[in-house]
Structure 1
């Protein structure tokens, strides 16, 4: 990889990080309660809610993994990008409005495990504890993957030792998450989301222009490997199997169970803000993922034309193009977008994990009478402890970022997705069904991941597909085979729906007026 102008890049990074820490300190002065720390007091407008959900979702994978995949696989990557775009739209359409209304009606539930407990009646907090356990389990690996990506970025750009690079990245992420909580995370995600989208639009446009336009780009790719320009075959010319296509598109299923994304739905200011936020979120996702695929394709053509067709690590293509095409100061800003993507996800994961410890374990199981300041303090301590554990996992430089992300994404999607969606729509669902869904979904992902081969290569299917399927069957079976929800629980669901209908009526009246 070419050398970077370290002085210009370091200066740009320091300005960027100072801005992020400044936002964290501002949010710290506005955060006095656990509701404020974990959900921002439910005050997010449509822009920070939408862009925070998108930025916390994509992580460094958007600027490293997806461009690298498109660089190697060409238009095959659109199956993955399309599945994620569809999942984003459906999540905002089917879940956001109801979750905002229902979490507030369910005794102002601050976390997804707490919502499950309040929604189904969980007096011994078994469901809440099991759900919180899966949050902590999968987020440790998810957060670690972000720290690994940060380490590789600092190692590549600055020449730091890998371990030092991981420590530096961790310190910055923990600092503003520790101080500001949800508001700091969400407002920094707004800035970072805009930066990520701008970078993914500017870089491919410059790369295509440098090669003479779209025509020469297509010609270069056709001469290099025409299979890069096909949707139905891989880069070797083999037809994509149904299992391969389903596995790529099925990433979209994961959205319904990601706690760090769902927290944005619960924290939005009003259900009336959801339609605008949905349009912003879907537009941002479409532009960002389209830009990431273009980075990979434009990079493949640029490497053929300007670098003899050789690139050691496909996931560095964004950094290679930035260094080659831009002034060092501009390059520093664009490279900061990678750090933005990494930080915007890692901070959200740390915050959701700390809320699971503080709200779902500490307050519910250990200290029911804990004061607000005490819960916030425990949450902040949990951020530090969880970051240290993730840091230890990240010290292995051979860790595969995309593999860790895919595993955690599938785990959350299967353990929480079916339970959450059915909890918002099915009155007959009960506590036993919810518990069965969480356990079966999470365990299926863990077990299926260890399998390989099978008839027709069935065990090569992305583990989220069987996880979601078996979890849904478990929910329905357990709910129907056990007693119907108690009147207090089913009546609570009716009140949730009544509250949502009242909110919608108020929105329509406001529009008509």
Structure 2
């Protein structure tokens, strides 16, 4: 690995820029609200792009293009499900959650919001939801570190152990120093880099394969069923892939972006920007994998790395078709996707430990400076645990991502969605929803019932549990008055 390697130089410049942004954000971080939610100061562009970048991990540039390359358009159902789910989340949850968290104790985290919204004096709701966040997100963080390590390992020929630390170090640095503002500002840069890579690459692949008509003929010649959206799928299979969209309602790192918006008025514009970004990125991802079929069928001598690991299709096309300096920028987009998601997950875990355990149960009188530094220490702690989990490349952590997405989607999704649209939801209903949702996912996954993705029964059963248990009691007058005030605020300002 030469120091003059253009890809390496590009990576180093990119990482240095991200850390510099972290130090810039450090100057604007004065209290725990700044560190966890950026002082609720995000404008519509940063809200939109940071929500998108925190959502799309290395899966966007490695996993999905690889699946399309192997199986054709039948793998694109998951992209359709994600687009529908993200849009509904922006439409029904984003603005309402922004005002509800402000009216309920100016809540900084989801457990904090649940505790205030349902007047949970016992602390049980806060503890259970914080534990769910820590368990699933530590696994999530580990999967991000593995993805970053794989990128460094394959691009620079590093050992897995060295790549593990190289991939994680920069993300930990800017998250530790700058907190939420650093994560949101870097997410905006990373989202821009990702969309640039995913719009440019398929266009260049098309030109290299002779244009649309020639490309489609080559794909059809390789296997006509590549165009079949229902190839090797069943009704349950399609529903399972579409079901990924349900997960959006319960992802703490995405919901935090809604909570951090500067006002409800920013949400509508942010929704339009975010959905445009998402549709273009997912379209580009599908195109990279699909057009890659034509390119490598026409150039079989170059296809060996992709044959060995189909998730390398974007990496190989970037290295083959572009100048090394441009390729370095495009490959940095994969690093951007990994870093943007990992940084958000580290911060959410830090927030849960600092706000929902340390401040609530250990040091209620802690100063803002103390809480910010505890938050930074928690980023390091979670990162080190995640690195330890990721240390064995055979630990199949990446396979747990869909499990964690389902866990959050079923445990928190119905609680968040119903809490912002139904005034009569109660504390016991929220508890029942979290417990039933999480338990259903675990049981369904274990027994692999009907071949259906576990988020779907988990979401349905949790929603029923919330409604039935809430009907057995009644919300307090304080809960009703805060809900009404927040809803009025939302209607006036949307």
Which of the five TM-score ranges fits, normalised by the shorter chain? over 0.9
1:400/1:307 Cα in 2 relative to 1: closer, same or farther (>3 Å)? farther
Give 1:331's aligned residue. Answer: 327
Give 1:495's aligned residue. Answer: 485
CA contact (8 A) 1:125 1:365 kept: no
- Partner deviation per Cα, 1:167-209 (whole Å, 9 max, x = no partner): 1111111000000000000000000001001101111111111
Is structure 2 residue 277 aligned with structure 1 residue 284? yes
Is structure 2 residue 38 aligned with structure 1 residue 48? no
CA contact (8 A) 1:76 1:230 kept: yes
Shift of 1:216: 1.3
Give 2:432's aligned residue. Answer: 436
Shift of 1:441: 0.9
Unaligned runs of 5+ in 1: 235-239, 505-513
Give 2:343's aligned residue. Answer: 347
Shift of 1:377: 1.1
Runs ≥4 in structure 1, deviation > 3 angstroms? 3-6, 399-402
Q: Alignment RMSD, CA only?
A: 1.4
Is structure 2 residue 419 aligned with structure 1 residue 423? yes
Q: Distance in 2 between matches of 1:289 and 1:503?
A: 31
Q: Distance in 1 between matches of 2:282 and 2:2?
A: 26
The number of residues matched between the two structures is 491
Shift of 1:146: 0.5
Shift of 1:401: 6.0
Q: How does 1:54-133 map onto structure 2 within 5 Å?
A: 54-133=52-131
3-state SS of paired residue (1:135): helix
Q: Distance in 2 between matches of 1:428 and 1:267?
A: 26
- Partner deviation per Cα, 1:322-364 (whole Å, 9 max, x = no partner): 0100111111111000000000000000001100000011111
- Partner deviation per Cα, 1:285-330 (whole Å, 9 max, x = no partner): 0000000001101111111111256511010100010010011111
- Partner deviation per Cα, 1:231-268 (whole Å, 9 max, x = no partner): 1223xxxxx21110001111100000000000000001
Tell me which moved more, 405-414 or 303-312: 303-312
1:471/1:6 Cα in 2 relative to 1: closer, same or farther (>3 Å)? farther
Shift of 1:399: 4.1
Give 1:449's aligned residue. Answer: 445
Q: Distance in 1 between matches of 2:68 and 2:38?
A: 37
Give 1:214's aligned residue. Answer: 212
Shift of 1:404: 2.3
Give 2:407's aligned residue. Answer: 411
TM-score computed with the length of structure 2 as normaliser: 0.97
Q: Distance in 1 between matches of 2:401 and 2:196?
A: 24
Is structure 2 residue 462 aligned with structure 1 residue 471? yes
3-state SS of paired residue (1:450): helix
Shift of 1:4: 10
Shift of 1:119: 0.4
Shift of 1:15: 0.6
Is structure 2 residue 37 aligned with structure 1 residue 39? yes
- Partner deviation per Cα, 1:89-146 (whole Å, 9 max, x = no partner): 1111111110111111111100011001100001121101100000001101111110
TM-score computed with the length of structure 1 as normaliser: 0.94
Is structure 2 residue 264 aligned with structure 1 residue 271? yes
Shift of 1:5: 9.7
Q: Distance in 2 between matches of 1:431 and 1:191?
A: 40
Unaligned runs of 5+ in 2: none
- Partner deviation per Cα, 1:197-228 (whole Å, 9 max, x = no partner): 11011111111110101111111111111111
